[in-house]
Chain A
Amino acid sequence: NAGVTQTPKFQVLKTGQSMTLQCAQDMNHNSMYWYRQDPGMGLRLIYYSASEGTTDKGEVPNGYNVSRLNKREFSLRLESAAPSQTSVYFCAISGRKVGNTEAFFGQGTRLTVV
């Protein structure tokens, strides 16, 4: 039972390159999220998907796009990477039932844009 699987774990991009971060879950949760973590700023929400077929912007969506491919998978795309997107990215999931409300996280992706 892997929980939340996030790939890749590390990536170096040149400015202007594109890439997609993949996230897959096997916990059958409805809600999925993409966060970025920067020093001194905690985790900031990029995009989220409350359920299959829906996506919404979070606090810092500029420069990113997402796809909720099915209930299991939620991808994050950087169309034209910029140095300001250097960060650690986390995919997370959560349920909607009382007693099952915490977020479960992937292992994170350290992205460096040079």
Chain B
Amino acid sequence: AQTVTQSQPEMSVQEAETVTLSCTYDTSESDYYLFWYKQPPSRQMILVIRQEAYKQQNATENRFSVNFQKAAKSFSLKISDSQLGDAAMYFCAYRTPIYNFNKFYFGSGTKLNVKP
């Protein structure tokens, strides 16, 4: 089974500043998908951003961007201009190729605190 590692259990950032959350994964596949999900205290799982492994360009969604390093199997999330509403648990997720059972594997999560 693939493994997804988030080595930062908890991080803090000052409002309006930038923070980067780390994620590494292990796979022998070449065609897969990566995601970052946000989980606020409401428990809802919200998709933040996705990256297809076959795309070299890093994905961006407004204040959220990723640094995808395929050879290093690294997928970090950068949050710019942090806002109080960004405070949540963040999970990195790996999805197997479409032709291979569509299984998702999640990291253990990083709790992000945003200080006013």
Contact = CB atoms under 8 A, between A and B. Distances in A.
Q: Do A and B bind each other?
A: yes
Interface of A: 30-31, 33, 35, 40-45, 48, 50, 56, 58-59, 88, 90, 92, 94, 96-98, 101-103, 105, 107-108, 110
Interface residues of B, number: 25
A92 B101 CA distance: 14
Contact of A42 (B1, B50, B91, B103): B91
Contacts of A94: 95, 102, 104
| Interface hub of B9, B102, B105, B108 (most chain A Cβ within 10 A) | B102
A42 B45 contact: no
Nearest to B6: A42
B98 A43 contact: no
17 contacts: A33-B104, A35-B106, A42-B108, A44-B106, A45-B105, A48-B101, A59-B1, A97-B98, A98-B52, A98-B98, A101-B98, A103-B93, A103-B95, A103-B104, A105-B44, A107-B44, A108-B43
Interface in B58-116: 91, 93, 95, 98, 101-109
